[in-house]
Structure 1
Amino acid sequence: MAQSQAQAPHPPLEGTQLVIGTIAVSLAVFMNVLDTSIANVSIPSISGDLGVSSDQGTWVITSFAVANAISVPLTGWLTDRIGQVRLFMASIVLFVISSWMCGLSPNLPFLLASRVLQGAVAGPMIPLSQTLLLASYPRAKAPMALSMWAMTTLIAPVAGPILGGWISDNISWPWIFYVNIPVGIVAALATWAIFRNRDSVIKKAPIDIVGLVLLITWVGSLQVMLDKGKDLDWFSSTTIVVLGLTAVIALAFFIVWELTDKHPVVDLSLFKLRNFTGGTVALAVGYGLYFGNLVLLPLWLQTDIGYTATDAGLVLAPVGVFAIILSPVTGKILPRTDPRYISTASFLIFALVFWMRSRYTTGVDTYSLMLPTLIQGIGMAGFFIPLVSITLSGLPGHRIPAASGLSNFVRIMCGGIGTSIFETAWDHRSILHHAQLTEHAHAYNPVFDQSITQMGGVGLNQAQAYGLFNSMTTQQAAQLGVNDLFYVSAGIFVALIALIWVTRPERAGSGDSAAAASAAH
């Protein structure tokens, strides 16, 4: 991608063209990032309307994430073959079409197929938006361009749950996808008007077909195993065993092939570098925890606490307040300080947030729900850019695109895996707690016997009293299960700090900082 640009340099845009070009790229990014979170609070509505369970409904999120993860590493090869402007345009147009298909979906399989297409065509959009934006501004103003771009990526995840919740409650869930259509059309027309004569040179480049097939095989097998594992009772099922073995074998062949191929689809040799490995793993695992909890929290609020989709979205909204205010500050101080300090502070804040959530009860109030989310915004402001700065530290310029693509691939993949793991773990912990709570529900337990007697005193017969007790036990078990996951998340964030300090980032100049920032999302 960088090579193509070097062969056909274009002067920076000026005046109205620069404004329109920035808006066009930002709209495309906003639409893309919005779709990673807008469906989160709408899963119960989608599941109910399509007649599937909530855990099946979460495939709507994970299918997008996995398809997106697979397509991100192919951005460079596709750019060489198609051209960056044409590829960016194609991504926008196909994203709009797939969004329309999602809204029209009559059943879950059709919706999942549409989301897979949507995720696949969305893959090149984020890297190319950075490329087009940086090429549009003078080098001296690159930090300003990237800060504007970063603001868009911070606003979209905050707007997603609120917009998704409001649409689900007041209109209908298909409109969470239809909203992309007018935004995408405007972005496509503006992009074509401004950038159509600024395309990169097209050149033929070989593709690692074997590596691509192996990549799709192990990623797809792993994700289906994670999604279906709970329904099929995990490794007691032949299907799950086959999927697990397929994923492991394909991954093993993938690693060997990619390390020996002349034109690998993914440059795994980057993992030999301490900074890249430490930064990438810390960022990916941290993102997987964050995204898994981002799905779990509204789902728990709606299924067990009685929140509407809109209210669940509003609970998540405060995360954007400090994130948007403090992100420019992070960008300013990063070149003058060790990024490990900022990352450590961010991870400690995330740990504090999840510990606070682990103290929730079934009678949790709105203030207790929103305070940790507000604090989490401080951690978000120092999460992406410092870790990417560490990941890319010391790399020569020609390796940065490959490193950015691989780091993004691992991060996005962990986001999809995190969703599946949290869903399954919550179900298992809830079942365990339910069994432990009901062990004491017998006639020889005076507390239980007194509770049933009191229920009878208000007019409930024995069957109704037992039913009410079971309902209360189920709610409490779900609460304890979600608390377990919040507590474990806090502990993992603390443990990840060790990975940050294994790295030895070099002091970056302004150009390196800009390159790092451009890959942050």
Structure 2
Amino acid sequence: MSAAAGTVALPGAGSGAPAAAPPAPAGAEFVPPSVPMATVGLALAVFMQVLDGTIANVSLPTIAGNLGVSTNQSAWVITTFSVCNAIALPLTGFLVKRVGQVRLFIWSTLLFTLASLLCGLAQSLGALVLFRALQGAVAGPMIPTTQALMLSIYPPHRRGFALSMIAMVTVVAPIAGPLLGGWITDSYSWQWTFLINVPIGLFAAATVSSQMRGKPEKTESVRVDHIGLATLVLGVGALQVVLDKGNDEDWFQSPFIVIMSLIAALSLAVFVIWELHERNPIVNLRLFANRNFAAGTVTLVLAYSAFFAVNVIVPQWLQRTMGYTAIWAGLAAAPMGILPVLMTPFMGKYAPRFNMRWMVCSAFAILGAASFIRAGFFLGVDFTHVAAVQLLQGLGLALFIMPINAILLSDLKPQEIAAASGLSTFSRTLGASFAVSLTSLVWERRAVLHHAHLVEGLPPGTLGPAAAPLAPGDTAFAFRLNHYLDQLAYQMSFNDVAYALGWVFMLAIAVVWLAKPPFTPKAPPGKR
């Protein structure tokens, strides 16, 4: 591609292909033949990509059994996807400059679909891990380019709706993932958790290709920042492995974790210093000089990390401590997705009329309240109460995702949106990984501490020989008592974690006020 600006032709859009829309003159407003159809195509691709991040999790035991490997080995199916996705996300801005938003979206979607097909056909763990790595890498640009394209096809007064549509699918997909994955695995086979992406991906790519044909785009022959790319891959890859494997390896008691941590710290330090001084950086860290982007991204990282930690620990608590099956745990967590779906049209229409900071603060107050309520849960809490708190959390979520995205993108130039979206999504993803690892660690360590304190309050010898062995009847009683104390310790630890996460939401309230209105994304040239 030459350095000069040019209109990017889409795959299959040769001279003999029927044009869905005539090319727009330079600087003119581009409107697809059907804005609703373009929206459906974009939203479906994002839904598919986000869904895939959670749908395979519940299938890991089945995958391990079918492929003849251990559960720990099968966990690399998740880890490789996370690592490659985290690396690819911040590269979105560079890739957009090289190939354009539309072409990058379509090829990312098609390659993701192909990788999904290969995952479903894999006959060994090695092949599955390789194809999951490909899937994670090509998935990176999908959400950022979707946000940029959605904002480009809607007029300014409708961009709140565009952002709310993306918010809805990114909220609903992680909730639907475990439920759908469990049902597919039980009813059919684990392969279909990947194969269902094929028709969805092909439809999304074809729809967006036909609707966006003729959209003018500028591309540049940008020099590749090899040092920035190498340090990014090494640093983020090592860090993501540390976060994913830390708990399993007992953190810094493991030489492997120590070495990977040192590699991550050194590589990322070099990456940041290099990128801030590089004329054509592979990742534009200078975006953080923008006040709204920096404040919005920090707020997003704090709040989303706390939310994601809750989303991970609640199903684990329901199964491990409360004795729920995987399906019932999913059903108890599912009400969180109800209100975001119902409120999306209203958020898109009415949210821009309010100060986004007040709306985000209301969301964090609700999310914090839900966490503080969970901090008062006990072993006898019933399904209804758990589901009701999840429903309350859904209200906070409905008020959160769209406004915070509007804040962080509000003061950026249109050509910066894809890069900024990729960088903020990367920051959010990395923050969520940190939060999950830290939350799991604290939950385990606090449970051990609470168990020790509970045992200290028992008469000597209750759980084992103090001076003489227990009689058979006493041994059975001691086993049941110890099991109960385990449950109680994990419940007390869960309450501690929920209380701490509630205060993280309160901290996010203070940070969001660093952003400065107005919070309406800027229009591209020619848009009014």
TM-score strictly above 0.5:
yes
Q: Which residue of 1 aligns with 2:259?
A: 242
* Compared CA separation, residues 142 and 244, structure 1 to 2 (3 A): closer
Structure 2 residue corresponding to 1:322, chosen from 332, 339, 355: 339
Residues 363 and 397 of structure 2 are in contact (CA less than 8 Å); yes or no, is this contact kept in structure 1? Answer: yes
Shift of 1:489: 0.6
Q: Which residue of 1 aligns with 2:14?
A: none
Q: Which moved more, 1:175-184 or 1:433-442?
A: 433-442
Aligned amino acid, residue 516 of structure 2: P
- 2:91 matches 1:74: yes
Structure 1 residue corresponding to 2:306, chosen from 289, 294, 307: 289
Q: Which residue of 1 aligns with 2:276?
A: 259
Measure, in 2, the Cα distance between the counterparts of 1:443 and 1:217. Answer: 53
Measure, in 1, the Cα distance between the counterparts of 2:444 and 2:124. Answer: 24
Q: Which residue of 1 aligns with 2:220?
A: 203
Shift of 1:157: 3.2
Shift of 1:64: 2.9
Residues 85 and 199 of structure 1 are in contact (CA less than 8 Å); yes or no, is this contact kept in structure 2? Answer: no
Measure, in 2, the Cα distance between the counterparts of 1:146 and 1:390. Answer: 11
- 2:487 matches 1:470: no
Measure, in 2, the Cα distance between the counterparts of 1:55 and 1:439. Answer: 34
Q: How does 1:221-370 map to 2 (within 5 A)?
A: 221-370=238-387
Residues 62 and 416 of structure 1 are in contact (CA less than 8 Å); yes or no, is this contact kept in structure 2? Answer: no
Q: Which residue of 2 aligns with 1:183?
A: 200
Measure, in 2, the Cα distance between the counterparts of 1:492 and 1:53. Answer: 36
Aligned amino acid, residue 484 of structure 1: D
Q: What is the aligned-residue RMSD (CA, Å)?
A: 3.5
Measure, in 2, the Cα distance between the counterparts of 1:161 and 1:153. Answer: 14
- Report the secondary structure of 1:36's partner residue: helix
Q: Which moved more, 1:203-212 or 1:324-333?
A: 324-333
Q: Which residue of 2 aligns with 1:481?
A: 493
Residues 40 and 298 of structure 1 are in contact (CA less than 8 Å); yes or no, is this contact kept in structure 2? Answer: no
* Compared CA separation, residues 4 and 387, structure 1 to 2 (3 A): farther
Measure, in 2, the Cα distance between the counterparts of 1:440 and 1:50. Answer: 47
- Alignment coverage as a number of residue pairs: 503
Q: Which residue of 2 aligns with 1:491?
A: 503
Shift of 1:190: 3.1
* Compared CA separation, residues 203 and 268, structure 1 to 2 (3 A): closer
Shift of 1:372: 1.0
Q: Which moved more, 1:467-476 or 1:342-351?
A: 467-476
Shift of 1:55: 7.4
Aligned amino acid, residue 266 of structure 2: I
Shift of 1:45: 5.2
* Compared CA separation, residues 445 and 491, structure 1 to 2 (3 A): same
Measure, in 2, the Cα distance between the counterparts of 1:44 and 1:438. Answer: 34
Shift of 1:396: 4.5
Measure, in 1, the Cα distance between the counterparts of 2:383 and 2:328. Answer: 10
Q: Which moved more, 1:129-138 or 1:463-472?
A: 129-138
Shift of 1:181: 1.8
Q: Which moved more, 1:349-358 or 1:418-427?
A: 418-427
Deviations 1:139-170 (A, max 9, x none): 66555555444444444334323322322443
Residues 343 and 387 of structure 1 are in contact (CA less than 8 Å); yes or no, is this contact kept in structure 2? Answer: yes
Measure, in 1, the Cα distance between the counterparts of 2:130 and 2:93. Answer: 25
Q: Which residue of 1 aligns with 2:39?
A: 22
- 2:131 matches 1:114: yes
Measure, in 2, the Cα distance between the counterparts of 1:45 and 1:300. Answer: 21
Measure, in 1, the Cα distance between the counterparts of 2:427 and 2:235. Answer: 13
Report which of the two has the higher share of helix. Answer: 1
Q: Which residue of 1 aligns with 2:21?
A: none
Residues 451 and 485 of structure 2 are in contact (CA less than 8 Å); yes or no, is this contact kept in structure 1? Answer: yes
Structure 2 residue corresponding to 1:88, chosen from 92, 105, 124: 105
Structure 2 residue corresponding to 1:507, chosen from 518, 523, 526: 518
Residues 358 and 482 of structure 1 are in contact (CA less than 8 Å); yes or no, is this contact kept in structure 2? Answer: yes
Shift of 1:491: 1.6
- Report the secondary structure of 2:53's partner residue: coil
- Report the secondary structure of 2:447's partner residue: helix
Residues 164 and 347 of structure 2 are in contact (CA less than 8 Å); yes or no, is this contact kept in structure 1? Answer: no
* Compared CA separation, residues 148 and 506, structure 1 to 2 (3 A): closer
- Report the secondary structure of 2:54's partner residue: coil
Q: Which moved more, 1:386-395 or 1:28-37?
A: 386-395
- 2:181 matches 1:164: yes
Aligned amino acid, residue 280 of structure 2: H
Measure, in 2, the Cα distance between the counterparts of 1:482 and 1:41. Answer: 22
Measure, in 1, the Cα distance between the counterparts of 2:305 and 2:67. Answer: 27
- 2:433 matches 1:422: no
Measure, in 2, the Cα distance between the counterparts of 1:12 and 1:286. Answer: 35
Provide structure 2 residue ranges, at least 5 long, that are not aligned to the other structure: 8-23
Aligned amino acid, residue 175 of structure 1: W
Residues 32 and 211 of structure 2 are in contact (CA less than 8 Å); yes or no, is this contact kept in structure 1? Answer: no
Provide structure 1 residue ranges, at least 5 long, that are not aligned to the other structure: 516-521
Shift of 1:366: 0.7
Aligned amino acid, residue 341 of structure 1: W
